[in-house]
Copies of this chain bind each other. A is one copy, B any other.
Amino acid sequence: MPIVIVEMWEGRTVDQKRNLIKALTDAMVEHAACTPDHLHVVIHEIKKENWGRNGEISIDAAKK
């Protein structure tokens, strides 16, 4: 009965999300012994200006 929350940059297509949800669910079922019926996947799409790594906002990192 788990929940998987994904934080990632915006920009994936619906098809990529469809396949990602399927693959994350399969991973949970196979390795955490979950039943899929109550398994939720929630994707938070984040704008690059709202993400930082190494102290740097991602819109600046992308310019390098």
Distance in Å from the Cβ of A32 to the closest Cβ of chain B?
Answer: 5
User: Given the known A-B contacts A6-B3, A27-B27, are A21 and B59 also in contact in the complex, defined by CB atoms under 8 Å?
Assistant: no
Count A interface residues, CB 8 Å: 52
With a cutoff of 8 Å between Cβ atoms, the chain B residues found around residue A45 in the complex are 50
Give the CA-CA distance A37 to B36 in the complex, in Å: 14
CB <8 Å contact, A55 and B36: yes
Instruction: Report which A residues bind B (CB closer than 8 A).
Output: 1-9, 12, 14, 16-28, 30-34, 36-46, 49-60
12 other contacts beyond A1-B8, A1-B40, A7-B42, with CB at 8 A cut-off? A1-B9, A1-B51, A2-B9, A8-B32, A12-B32, A14-B59, A23-B27, A23-B31, A24-B27, A42-B51, A43-B50, A44-B46
